[in-house]
Amino acid sequence: MPVGKKPRRPPVRSKRRLINGIRRRTRTGAPWRNDPAHHGEWESVYGLLRRRQRDGTWSRSLTQLQAGADARGLITWALDRLEALVRHRLKRLQFRPDALDGFMAGTGLNLDTSPHPDEPTSVTTVSPAPNELTACQRP
């Protein structure tokens, strides 16, 4: 007769509480140790996040959610939203306004912002010189 697994004790915190702790951390950017106690101990929340990152659960979930939302027309892939997102994420670099141009240089894109807020932002591709190596191409 095959031997089954040992019975385990039930978890102290539900996975939902741990996932809510992960959501709070990624949304606010607060340190792990400042996580409210009702989400569980911060080591448990962080451990669940890392385990799911390693096995690819988060990337698969995101891909499936984006594909479903895109198929239903719920996602608008607009350039102005992308620019706003990048600028918002880089707001800590507010004293270095040229930093975004430095990040864009490696992509081959040129971001031309319009002086008028009503006009859309345009992106053009810039092809590098043949003898010029970008940061992505360096060994």
The 10s digit of each residue's pLDDT in 78-133 is 777 777 777 776 675 666 656 656 666 666 666 555 555 555 555 454 444 555 54
Q: Which two tokens stand for residue 50?
A: 């890392």
pLDDT score at 80: 74
pTM of the entire structure?
A: 0.45
pLDDT reading at 55 higher than 90:
yes
pLDDT reading at 35 higher than 60:
yes
Mean pLDDT of 27-50: 83
pLDDT score at 51: 93
For 44, phi then psi, to 5°, come to -70, -40
Please, which residues have CB within 8 angstroms of residue 103's CB and are 6 or more apart in sequence?
86, 90
- Distance in angstroms (rounded) separating the CA atoms of residues 55 and 62: 14
- Distance in angstroms (rounded) separating the CA atoms of residues 31 and 47: 15
The 10s digit of each residue's pLDDT in 1-14 is 456 677 777 777 68
pLDDT reading at 76 higher than 90:
no
In a 13 Å sphere around the CA of 29, the CA atoms on its Cβ side amount to 2
The 10s digit of each residue's pLDDT in 57-71 is 988 998 999 889 888
Q: DSSP readout, 30-94?
A: --GGGS-GGG--HHHHHHHHHHHHHTTHHHHHHHHHHHHHHHTT-----HHHHHHHHHHHTGGGT
pLDDT reading at 43 higher than 80:
yes
Q: Which residues pair with 111 in a beta bridge?
A: 123
Domain chopping of the chain, boundaries:
15-71, 79-125
pLDDT score at 79: 74
What burial letters (b/e) apply to 82-98, b meaning 16+ CB within 10 Å? eeeeeeeeeeeeeeeee
